[in-house]
Amino acid sequence: MRIVIAGGHGQIALRLERLLAGRGDDVTGIIRKPEQAGDLRAAGAEPAVCDLESAAPGEVERLLQGADAAVFAAGAGPGSGAERKDTVDRQACSLLADAAEAAGVRRFLVVSSVGVDRDPPEGTDPVFAAYLRAKGAADADVRARTGLDSTILRPGPLTNDPGTGRVNLAESTGRGAVTRDDVAAVLVGLLDEPGTAGRTLELTGGDAPIRDAVRKAAGG
């Protein structure tokens, strides 16, 4: 497969790139800073420098030509303000979705977060509340598109512990942390399982082997 990953220098994206390249897939990672290119090449991915906050739709569409799938794994990241939560976590996701539809790339995965489908609780930090609202709006936009076979993955709090290969993957999992290694491995499984299209799935650490968890989420 040829897979294009937005946010290609992110911690989950780099793990995903290594897994996909390691099994022989053709992987392109979209990055904003040219100096990040070496890390992507080390992971086995081809870097494509494109700022999704300012890019024209046609520029992104060209990057997606001939791809089998697109993954939105971008985020404004720690230290960014509320405005960038919207321009990256919502607007850039919609831009990638527009480009995927225009390029005829139906399979579309989104790395989202738990808790984005409801209003943030009173007293939530304003920037974090903006992040949750931006992610929720992006998810809703992607779900509404008939031109995409989308799966939205909502991990719980992320850790850098070694992956366990065992998770809880379902429409509702309850609260629980999950390793970035396991998130990346689940994304690989979702790319391989078209039966998960149209689903919004929460993810935490758990007891089910990833392959079994993905198969069950697809109704198998």
| Residues with catalytic roles | 131
Q: What is d(CA 46, CA 121) in angstroms, rounded to the nearest whole number?
A: 41
Q: What type of residue is 164? A: T
Angle at 107 between CA 101 and CA 112, to 5 degrees: 95
Composition of the chain by helix, strand, coil, percent to 5: 45, 20, 35
Cβ atoms 199, 171 nearer than 8 A: yes
- DSSP codes of every residue in 80-96: --HHHIIIIIIIIHHHH
Decide if 106 contacts 42 (C-beta within 8 A): no
Burial class (CB in 10 A: 0-12, 13-18, 19+), 220: exposed
Cα distance between residue 216 and residue 21, in whole Å: 26
108 beta partners:
70, 150
Rounded CA separation 9/32 (Å) = 9
AA letter at 147: G
